[in-house]
């Protein structure tokens, strides 16, 4: 069971890594719609990885309580941890690209708001 969970998690993490790499490329090419198309699936995958993590932790505890030496799974779990680190770094790289863009749009809105007396829309009745 542990091996199955780890394998499923690793597959999901690798798929997330590929999606983030695609996101970075699509940002560079200004393919914003492609980014949006992947968001729902990425959110689903994040939730599924979190669920697998809970299942994995519970299964490890169960195995230990049954006297199983869980070190037999060490290599696979270490590999999963490495893949999660790669995912984290890719995510950080994506954030470094997205944050300046987000700040640019915020600055534009703030500038427009400031020039309109503190409100974004100026309504005359």
User: Structural domain of residue 8, as residue ranges?
Assistant: 2-115
Stated as kind and residue range, the H or E segment containing 12 is helix 2-28
Nearest Cα to Cα of residue 49 among 20, 15, 3, 18: 15
Distance CA 86, CA 64 (A): 29
Query: Residue 52 falls within a domain, yes or no?
Result: yes
**Where residue 14 falls among pLDDT bands split at 50, 70, 90?**
very high
**Where residue 46 falls among pLDDT bands split at 50, 70, 90?**
very high
- The model scores a pTM over 0.75: no
Residue 26: what pLDDT? 87
Query: Residue 101 falls within a domain, yes or no?
Result: yes
Query: Residue 87 falls within a domain, yes or no?
Result: yes
Give the total number of structural domains in the chain.
1
Q: With left for phi above 0 and alpha for psi between -120 and 50, is residue 44 left, alpha or beta? A: alpha
Query: Residue 122 falls within a domain, yes or no?
Result: no
Query: Residue 125 falls within a domain, yes or no?
Result: no
Query: Residue 9 falls within a domain, yes or no?
Result: yes
Handedness of CA 98, 34, 39, 18 (dihedral sign): negative
Residue 97: what pLDDT? 83
Query: Residue 38 falls within a domain, yes or no?
Result: yes
CA distances from 100 to 11, 15, 34, 96, 97 (A): 31, 26, 20, 7, 6
Whether residue 116 has pLDDT greater than 70:
no
Query: Residue 120 falls within a domain, yes or no?
Result: no
């Amino acid at each position: 069971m542990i091996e199955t969970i780890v394998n499923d998690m690793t597959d999901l993490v690798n798929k997330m890594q590929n999606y983030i790499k695609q996101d970075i490329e699509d940002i560079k090419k200004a393919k914003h719609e492609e980014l949006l198309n992947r968001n729902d699936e990425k959110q689903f995958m994040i939730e599924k990885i979190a669920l697998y993590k809970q299942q994995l932790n519970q299964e490890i505890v169960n195995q230990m309580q049954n006297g199983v030496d869980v070190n037999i799974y060490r290599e696979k779990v270490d590999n999963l941890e490495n893949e999660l680190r790669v995912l984290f770094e890719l995510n950080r790289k994506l954030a470094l690209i997205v944050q300046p863009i987000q700040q640019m749009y915020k600055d534009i809105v703030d500038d427009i708001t400031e020039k309109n007396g503190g409100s974004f829309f100026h309504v005359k009745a």
